[in-house]
């Protein structure tokens, strides 16, 4: 098994090599930056950091980085729909730094799953990409064989109760033996109502997880949430 130091060295080496072919860029504004950086200071200053207490029923602690607006919104769209690796690295680094600064200990990172249909169309699950980078930066293993999404979710146009019903029918859990008594961090790019995270946390707890936290890059501002 690779040690953390080796993993981090490989990760840094890969970033350095990649920067020769694709010079490293800020995931927010695409300005060229040193290979060892993850964003430029101007963008970091501009970022509206999230300071709301996020309460989601079955989530023991929800951690978010910033509000889903302006440059953060642009970065989420880039990492979700444009397969922009710079935006993934930027978001993952901010998420990992916050996790490390809060001294959170957990056994596994589990990305919020997307349906096969969505994954095939998009080519990837953005939450898994985020989780994989956070795994190296924060030394927590990713578990990608526990939660699954059944079908394409079109939550946007549904009422709150329809959303809850749709969410319940859209996910399932497997391999629960591996999560018994474990502390898990669910990883996602954006949180709006938190209904998906809530339901996934419920599934994990029913499956035996002792604690479920959520680590989300961007949170929809209060006045826009419903």
Q: Which residues of this chain interact with Zn ion, rule CB under 5 A?
A: 26, 28-29, 31, 40, 43
216: nearest Cα among 205, 207, 225? 225
Of 40 and 131, nearer to Zn ion (C-beta) is: 40
Residue with tokens 């939550």: 155
What length does the chain have?
226
Of 40 and 99, nearer to Zn ion (C-beta) is: 40
Of 15 and 118, nearer to Zn ion (C-beta) is: 15
Q: For residues 58 and 184, what is the distance between their CA atoms, to the nearest angstrom? A: 12
Least spacing, CB of residue 38 vs Zn ion, in Å: 10
Q: For residues 150 and 174, what is the distance between their CA atoms, to the nearest angstrom? A: 13
Q: What are phi and psi of 114, to 5 degrees?
A: -120, 160
Q: What angle do CA 103, 93, 41 make, to 5 degrees?
A: 115
Q: Where are the alpha helices (DSSP H) in 22-69?
A: 41-46
Give the bridge partners for 212, in sequence order: 184
Least spacing, CB of residue 27 vs Zn ion, in Å: 8
Least spacing, CB of residue 31 vs Zn ion, in Å: 5
Of 75 and 140, nearer to Zn ion (C-beta) is: 75
Of 90 and 196, nearer to Zn ion (C-beta) is: 90
| Cα first-last separation, the chain | 45
Least spacing, CB of residue 71 vs Zn ion, in Å: 8
Residue with tokens 């033996």: 177
Least spacing, CB of residue 46 vs Zn ion, in Å: 8
Least spacing, CB of residue 32 vs Zn ion, in Å: 10
Of 71 and 209, nearer to Zn ion (C-beta) is: 71
Q: For residues 63 and 129, what is the distance between their CA atoms, to the nearest angstrom? A: 18
């Amino acid at each position: 098994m690779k040690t953390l130091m080796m993993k981090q060295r490989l990760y840094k080496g890969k970033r350095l090599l990649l920067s020769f072919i694709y010079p490293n860029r800020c995931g927010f504004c695409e300005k060229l930056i040193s290979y060892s950086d993850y964003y430029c200071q101007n963008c970091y200053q501009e970022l509206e950091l999230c300071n709301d207490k996020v309460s989601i029923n079955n989530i023991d602690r929800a951690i978010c980085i910033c509000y889903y607006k302006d440059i953060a919104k642009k970065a989420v769209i880039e990492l979700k729909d444009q397969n922009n690796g710079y935006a993934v690295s930027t978001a993952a680094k901010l998420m990992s730094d916050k996790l490390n600064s809060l001294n959170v200990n957990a056994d596994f990172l589990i990305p919020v799953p997307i349906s096969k249909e969505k994954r095939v169309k998009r080519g990837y699950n953005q939450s898994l990409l985020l989780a994989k980078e956070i795994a190296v930066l924060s030394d927590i293993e990713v578990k990608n064989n526990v939660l699954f999404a059944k079908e394409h979710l079109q939550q946007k146009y549904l009422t709150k109760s329809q959303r809850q019903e749709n969410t319940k029918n859209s996910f399932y859990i497997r391999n629960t033996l591996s999560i018994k008594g474990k502390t898990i961090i669910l990883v996602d790019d954006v949180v709006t109502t938190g209904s998906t995270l809530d339901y996934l946390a419920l599934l994990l707890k029913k499956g035996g997880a002792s604690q479920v936290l959520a680590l989300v890059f961007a949170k929809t501002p209060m006045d826009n949430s419903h």
